[in-house]
Structure 1
Amino acid sequence: MPHRFSRLLPHRDDYADLPRSWRRDILAGVTVGVVALPLALAFGISSGVGAAAGLITAVVAGLVAAVFGGSHVQVSGPTGAMAVVLAPIVAQHGLGSIALVTVAAGLLVLAAGVTGLGRAVTFIPWPVIEGFTLGIATIIFLQQVPAAFAQQPPAGERTLPAAITVVAQADWTAAAKTLGVVTVVALLMVTLPRLHRAIPESLTAVIVATVLVSVLHIPVAAIGELPSHLPAPVLPHADLGAMRTLLGAALAIAALAAIESLLSARVAATMSPTGPYAPDRELVGQGLASVASGVFGGMPATGAIARTAVNVRSGARTRVAAIVHSLVLLAVVYLATGPVSTIPLAALAGVLMVTSFRMISAATVRKILRSTRSDALTFVLTAVVTVCFDLIEAVEIGIVVAAFFALRSIARRSSVVREELPGPALPGDDEIALLRLDGAMFFGAAERISQAIVDGEHPHTSVVIIRMSQLGMLDATGAHTLAEIATELEARGVTVIIKGVRPEHAELLANVGVFESLRHENHLLDSLDDAIDHARTHVAHRPH
């Protein structure tokens, strides 16, 4: 037990590559810090918590997750998905609820890591993950529409109808200015990487837009005043009544934080030569990061796929890169909040609009839509539910739909086949039903067994041999169904013989009472020849 918990804590081995890679790690950290600055501000504003909270989250949570997390190259902070979940919570419960929800969600994620739930994310099907990503990207884009059109989002409306309302009621004289800023930022972000890969396009685009707005005296809304230092840590007031109403929100945030962080760490592990990540330790790190963020006045944090990808591409090999990213942003808090506060909101909206498009891979969407109809439907349904309803509901519905199709696929591959008895036919053989169970045995197979025993060609069956040697999958429901069928047949006077039980199924069959339902212990046999010979003795002794 102590060893299990020690695996969840920071270790000297985390920095084993540092003597060889420290220069690259520092350079990667500075690069990611530059990329993260406009995103942290934008996601803070987009969530309704404010630009300052976004910046604090990137500094505090980024640092804690880098030290305690399970990935060497993951970069954490505020993300688009989290902003999407937080916006309705802020609207419904007010800004005061965020600290409490953030700390509670962090504690839930921490508990998930300590109890070993980190591997659960591997069960989320690929079409669900991609549908979820497409839905989040769409919402992030739609959330920027009010800022792009120089309007406040309508209170209490969902993202899609709110965006439609804003466009329908646009004041085009004001909107022309903000849309111009968005266009400049988008064009720069698209063209700058083509000029040189090393240019930090989002930061450069924001700086250019800010300078243009200032020089040309364009009247557009700016971020406004930011704190010039980190606030003192304060534990949120835990009001039991408030906690009860916010528990659902905390669970939703914790689920999202766990899923997004583990997915990001998994992607990073495939991109980086630093090797695999520790999923349970990653959850511990992200849980502690959100708790720390909430205490300092930030918002819930998760692993950020885009910033992590920049980190890896910039040559990061150890956690020092993500630590440096947080220190760069900390320097901004103490040294540069004046210039940062003049950044136009429309410039950040432009950054997020371009970011939302980059989240979607057209090639991936094509692959899923061309795969199977069930996977394509799961993908589309998850994306639609994400945009129209709720992120966590989308993942839940996506998993349920994917599980339904997976079960249907397994059920189709499972079959109950009535076979002819091998060798020359003997009198009375037409009363023996030899059934072979293939594939998987669960609730869907019960009816097929009944149909195979009594069909038009075999009206009088007195002995049933059930061959189980070809059965791959057996669950408790399938075993219970088998016990019920055996009990029912025996009650009707039909002898049941079971042949070829696989060792891995024996204990389950015994526990649910399949063997007890047989008339005699001799009716459990390993050889087909023995089973047929025994069945023929029963037929021979029957009165005709």
Structure 2
Amino acid sequence: MWKSVLRHDLPASVVVFLVALPLSIGIAVASGAPVAAGLIAAVVGGVVAGVLGGSPLQVSGPAAGLTVVVAETIAQFGWRTTCFIVAAAGVLQILFGLSRIARAALAVAPVVVHAMLAGIGITIALQQLLVVLGGVSASSSLANLRAIPVELSHAHWGDVVVGTTVMAILLGWKYVPAKVRVVPAPLVAILTGAVLAMVLPTAIDRIVLNASLLDSLALPQIPTGQWWHVAFAVLTIALIASVESLLSAVAVGRMRGGERADFDRELLGQGSANLLSGLIGGLPVTGVIVRSATNVRAGARSRASTVLHGIWILVFSVALVGVVEQIPKAALAGLLIVIGMQLVKLAHIRLARRTGDLLVYVATVLGVVFGNLLEGVLIGLALAFGLLLWRVVRAQVSAAPLADGRWQVRIDGSCTFLALPKLSAELATVPEGADVIVEMTVDFLDHAAFEAIGDWQRLQESTGGRVDFVEIGHAKMADTPAAPPTRGFGRAAIDDMVRPWRHQKSGRDALTAGVAAFHRGHAHVVRPHLDGLRDTQDPDSFFLTCSDSRIVPNVITNSGPGDLFTVRNVGNLVPVRGDDSVEAALSFALDTLAVRSVVVCGHSSCGAMKAALSAVDAGGGLSSWLRHVEPSVSRFRAGHPVAAAAAAAGFDEVDQLSMVNVAVQLETLGRHPAVRRAITERGLVVSGLFFDIATSRVLEVGVDGIATIDDHPALVVAR
């Protein structure tokens, strides 16, 4: 363990320390907090959250994402009361962790989180742009925007040079040689800014530390009033810090190949860090993706790297206070501008546009920038919820005439009272007395919509028209009056599709009922496809399988009408002589239809194979037919390699023989003149399949083994 720490975590901790130091100072300055508060938070975040957190490689500390809300809190309550709020937010995070609701924090719409960060980034950039110009940032983004032209007219050139140099280094660092990039860009940029401030012949404002880090430790001040506003600030900081930490933990896990973090423990660690940071005068702490990603890329293997980085910041802050005071404010402002603009990600904007959430994104950003953080987030969440509601509850309704004179009404989605205006308008376009097919793919049907459709149906039928319902979705007209409406799910749709297989009547009634159900539920779906096949067929495969009722070729091959030219007989046999039906079908498929493959499909528990293996006289024509299985039985008893592979996979003798029989039929087909000619001239493919009824798995059968369809290489499959 210690060898790993010394080899991997120690070097990584130094890299993270060099990145975190200037960022922590800059965030404190941008928040309007004492500089030491940023360093305290970095130390506490590294050590406490590093030890207690649930994401071992996540690095915690002051984050740009909380800059705006902390600045607003300080402006409203003062610094020491803000420390109390930070500590209280930590307690709330601990309660979140103990109550195991951590994952609920991830339920916030990602577009709102992305937009919140973008709004924070823009706000920070507007604030710090004035500092780079030599001025002082205002309290609002609108005031900062108004002040930019004034500051440009009398900008302090020394601050501009330092700030723009820092920004240029940060933005261009990715273009320098890889060996040079080992040194963190923020460190190089801040050091360069400090050197420029020393040599430029002009006065440049620098960081001021009123005391050493240890002297800056102070207890928080309990608020004297405004408790509602205090509680609101506590909740805001706790929620933002929690969501940002959990999202960062998810990102770190992805960087580690899908490694999962303990979210509840992570909130306990973050809450403990915020509690301590607030009690001793530090900024809020949260998981920071920039530092965490740096930690992972630097080769960290354990939480030791995170803890050590906090210790290095502590040592530096105590022993090298004079170095911190040489950092120009303009250099930190340039650093923060780049960090702020990096929070605005083009990938997030493109994603919001593709997913139809661009309005939510823009509204949230504008709310954060020109209002405040909470207002922006609430606006975004409200819009996101409204958009979700609109997408979920709306129904698509259309009415159009068909070629045969009938009309077709289509209703798709959730049909509720909200859809009544659209529903009524479309139904009104159907002429009185017309025959109508109502195609309903509805997952939710409330009583108001049911009544509207029913009233229209009665009116249409009273004028001589006929209304037929084709109902595919979960919600059915007949079921609506009997119970409260419920939303259908995918499982229900599958059950509806499979139910006829399990509850068949007997005799002709079953077929008649099945045909009626087909007309009602599926005929219109396949009608356009079948209409294109009415004059010709172009199947891909000649499919020879057993007559067994449990084998449905189109189901197990996920194919449809027109795809398979199917021939069925007992035992899926290719008789060498004595059966013209297979020969005729094969010749027609090869010469006239030019199929591209020939498939032989056997199955488990085959009655033909059982009879052949037991050598019992089946009587009648069946005994005569089963003589065609004798070559397969002989090959099986002689130890065919397919039988050995099937036995190794756990199949019994009947199934082994069934697979051997498929292999033998493939060999027979391989000797057929028409098949051989098609293989040579146009690349016909001949293959075998075996359907295991109990597991619903289809295996591939070759002339010398079996294989799963999913992974081809091995010709032995575990059952």
TM-score, L = length of structure 2? 0.58
Are the counterparts in 1 of residues 36 and 213 from structure 2 also a CA contact under 8 Å?
no
Are the counterparts in 2 of residues 136 and 386 from structure 1 also a CA contact under 8 Å?
yes
- Measure how far apart 1:370 and its partner are: 5.3
Task: Tell me the residue number matched to 2:323.
Answer: 339
Tell me, yes or no, if structure 1 residue 367 matches structure 2 residue 381.
no
Tell me, yes or no, if structure 1 residue 40 matches structure 2 residue 41.
no
- Measure how far apart 1:261 and its partner are: 1.6
Tell me, yes or no, if structure 1 residue 132 matches structure 2 residue 105.
no
- Measure how far apart 1:500 and its partner are: 9.1
Tell me, yes or no, if structure 1 residue 183 matches structure 2 residue 157.
no
Q: What is the alpha-carbon distance in structure 2 between the residues aligned to residue 311 and residue 454 of structure 1? A: 65
Q: What is the alpha-carbon distance in structure 2 between the residues aligned to residue 339 and residue 224 of structure 1? A: 11
Look up the equivalent residue of 2:237 and give its one-letter code: I
- Structure 1 residues 338 and 481 mapped into 2: Cα distance closer, same or farther (>3 Å)? farther
Task: Tell me the residue number matched to 1:10.
Answer: none
- Measure how far apart 1:58 and its partner are: 0.8
- Measure how far apart 1:314 and its partner are: 1.0
- Structure 1 residues 449 and 357 mapped into 2: Cα distance closer, same or farther (>3 Å)? closer
- Measure how far apart 1:171 and its partner are: 7.2
- Measure how far apart 1:284 and its partner are: 2.5
Are the counterparts in 1 of residues 106 and 243 from structure 2 also a CA contact under 8 Å?
no
- Measure how far apart 1:225 and its partner are: 2.1
Tell me, yes or no, if structure 1 residue 439 matches structure 2 residue 423.
no
Are the counterparts in 1 of residues 395 and 415 from structure 2 also a CA contact under 8 Å?
no
Match of 1:71 among 44, 55, 67: 55
Are the counterparts in 2 of residues 151 and 166 from structure 1 also a CA contact under 8 Å?
no
- Measure how far apart 1:276 and its partner are: 1.7
Tell me, yes or no, if structure 1 residue 396 matches structure 2 residue 378.
yes
Match of 1:309 among 269, 288, 293: 293
Deviates more, 1:129-138 or 1:116-125: 116-125
Structure with the larger helix share: 1
Q: What is the alpha-carbon distance in structure 2 between the residues aligned to residue 507 and residue 287 of structure 1? A: 51
Percent of counterpart pairs with the same letter? 31
Are the counterparts in 1 of residues 349 and 358 from structure 2 also a CA contact under 8 Å?
no
- Structure 1 residues 511 and 42 mapped into 2: Cα distance closer, same or farther (>3 Å)? farther
Q: What is the alpha-carbon distance in structure 2 between the residues aligned to residue 70 and residue 133 of structure 1? A: 23
What is the count of residue pairs matched by the alignment? 486
TM-align CA RMSD: 4.3
Q: What is the alpha-carbon distance in structure 2 between the residues aligned to residue 507 and residue 218 of structure 1? A: 83
- Measure how far apart 1:192 and its partner are: 4.3
TM-score, L = length of structure 1? 0.75
Task: Tell me the residue number matched to 1:264.
Answer: 248
Task: Tell me the residue number matched to 2:314.
Answer: 330
1:212-291 mapped onto 2 (5 Å cutoff)? 212-216=196-200, 218-225=202-209, 227-230=211-214, 236-239=220-223, 241-273=225-257, 275-291=259-275
Larger radius of gyration: 2
Are the counterparts in 2 of residues 145 and 163 from structure 1 also a CA contact under 8 Å?
no
- Larger relative CO (CA 8 A, sep 6+): 1 or 2? 1
- Measure how far apart 1:112 and its partner are: 2.8
- Measure how far apart 1:52 and its partner are: 0.7
Task: Tell me the residue number matched to 1:201.
Answer: 185
SS of aligned partner of 1:197: helix
Are the counterparts in 2 of residues 142 and 160 from structure 1 also a CA contact under 8 Å?
no
Q: Deviations over 1:377-416 (max 9, x none)?
A: 2222222222211223222222332333333334456559
Match of 1:119 among 91, 94, 103: 103
Are the counterparts in 2 of residues 483 and 513 from structure 1 also a CA contact under 8 Å?
no
1:519-538 mapped onto 2 (5 Å cutoff)? none
SS of aligned partner of 1:238: coil
Task: Tell me the residue number matched to 2:644.
Answer: none
Tell me, yes or no, if structure 1 residue 409 matches structure 2 residue 391.
yes
Task: Tell me the residue number matched to 2:146.
Answer: 164
Are the counterparts in 2 of residues 415 and 438 from structure 1 also a CA contact under 8 Å?
yes
- Measure how far apart 1:273 and its partner are: 3.3
Q: What is the alpha-carbon distance in structure 2 between the residues aligned to residue 41 and residue 230 of structure 1? A: 16
Are the counterparts in 2 of residues 139 and 160 from structure 1 also a CA contact under 8 Å?
no
Are the counterparts in 1 of residues 40 and 213 from structure 2 also a CA contact under 8 Å?
no
Q: What is the alpha-carbon distance in structure 2 between the residues aligned to residue 76 and residue 510 of structure 1? A: 56
SS of aligned partner of 2:182: coil
Q: Deviations over 1:472-515 (max 9, x none)?
A: x44xxx656568879999xx9x9xx9999959xx999987489x
Are the counterparts in 1 of residues 119 and 364 from structure 2 also a CA contact under 8 Å?
yes
Q: Deviations over 1:137-156 (max 9, x none)?
A: 211111112321222334xx
- Structure 1 residues 369 and 436 mapped into 2: Cα distance closer, same or farther (>3 Å)? closer
Q: What is the alpha-carbon distance in structure 2 between the residues aligned to residue 370 and residue 23 of structure 1? A: 45
- Measure how far apart 1:100 and its partner are: 1.7
SS of aligned partner of 2:214: coil
- Measure how far apart 1:356 and its partner are: 2.4
List runs of 5+ in structure 2 lacking aligned partners: 463-468, 487-499, 501-512, 521-719
- Measure how far apart 1:371 and its partner are: 1.9
Q: What is the alpha-carbon distance in structure 1 between the residues aligned to residue 301 and residue 379 of structure 2? A: 37
- Measure how far apart 1:323 and its partner are: 1.0
Task: Tell me the residue number matched to 1:350.
Answer: 334
Look up the equivalent residue of 2:312 and give its one-letter code: V
Are the counterparts in 2 of residues 192 and 199 from structure 1 also a CA contact under 8 Å?
no
Match of 2:91 among 103, 107, 115: 107
Are the counterparts in 2 of residues 18 and 318 from structure 1 also a CA contact under 8 Å?
no
Are the counterparts in 1 of residues 397 and 423 from structure 2 also a CA contact under 8 Å?
no
Q: What is the alpha-carbon distance in structure 2 between the residues aligned to residue 70 and residue 306 of structure 1? A: 18
Q: What is the alpha-carbon distance in structure 2 between the residues aligned to residue 327 and residue 314 of structure 1? A: 18
Q: What is the alpha-carbon distance in structure 2 between the residues aligned to residue 384 and residue 205 of structure 1? A: 31
- Measure how far apart 1:48 and its partner are: 0.6
List runs of 5+ in structure 1 lacking aligned partners: 1-16, 421-429, 515-525, 534-544
Q: What is the alpha-carbon distance in structure 2 between the residues aligned to residue 198 and residue 287 of structure 1? A: 33
- Structure 1 residues 498 and 240 mapped into 2: Cα distance closer, same or farther (>3 Å)? farther
- Structure 1 residues 459 and 239 mapped into 2: Cα distance closer, same or farther (>3 Å)? farther
- Measure how far apart 1:226 and its partner are: 5.2
Look up the equivalent residue of 1:220 and give its one-letter code: I
SS of aligned partner of 2:241: helix
- Structure 1 residues 184 and 451 mapped into 2: Cα distance closer, same or farther (>3 Å)? closer
SS of aligned partner of 2:225: helix
- Structure 1 residues 42 and 70 mapped into 2: Cα distance closer, same or farther (>3 Å)? same
SS of aligned partner of 2:414: strand
Look up the equivalent residue of 2:192 and give its one-letter code: V
- Measure how far apart 1:265 and its partner are: 1.6
- Structure 1 residues 30 and 253 mapped into 2: Cα distance closer, same or farther (>3 Å)? same
- Measure how far apart 1:436 and its partner are: 8.2
SS of aligned partner of 1:440: strand
- Structure 1 residues 403 and 181 mapped into 2: Cα distance closer, same or farther (>3 Å)? same
Q: What is the alpha-carbon distance in structure 2 between the residues aligned to residue 178 and residue 234 of structure 1? A: 33
Are the counterparts in 1 of residues 90 and 238 from structure 2 also a CA contact under 8 Å?
yes
- Structure 1 residues 511 and 339 mapped into 2: Cα distance closer, same or farther (>3 Å)? farther
Are the counterparts in 2 of residues 41 and 51 from structure 1 also a CA contact under 8 Å?
yes
Deviates more, 1:436-445 or 1:264-273: 436-445
- Structure 1 residues 214 and 277 mapped into 2: Cα distance closer, same or farther (>3 Å)? same
- Measure how far apart 1:248 and its partner are: 1.9
Look up the equivalent residue of 2:168 and give its one-letter code: L
Deviates more, 1:302-311 or 1:229-238: 229-238
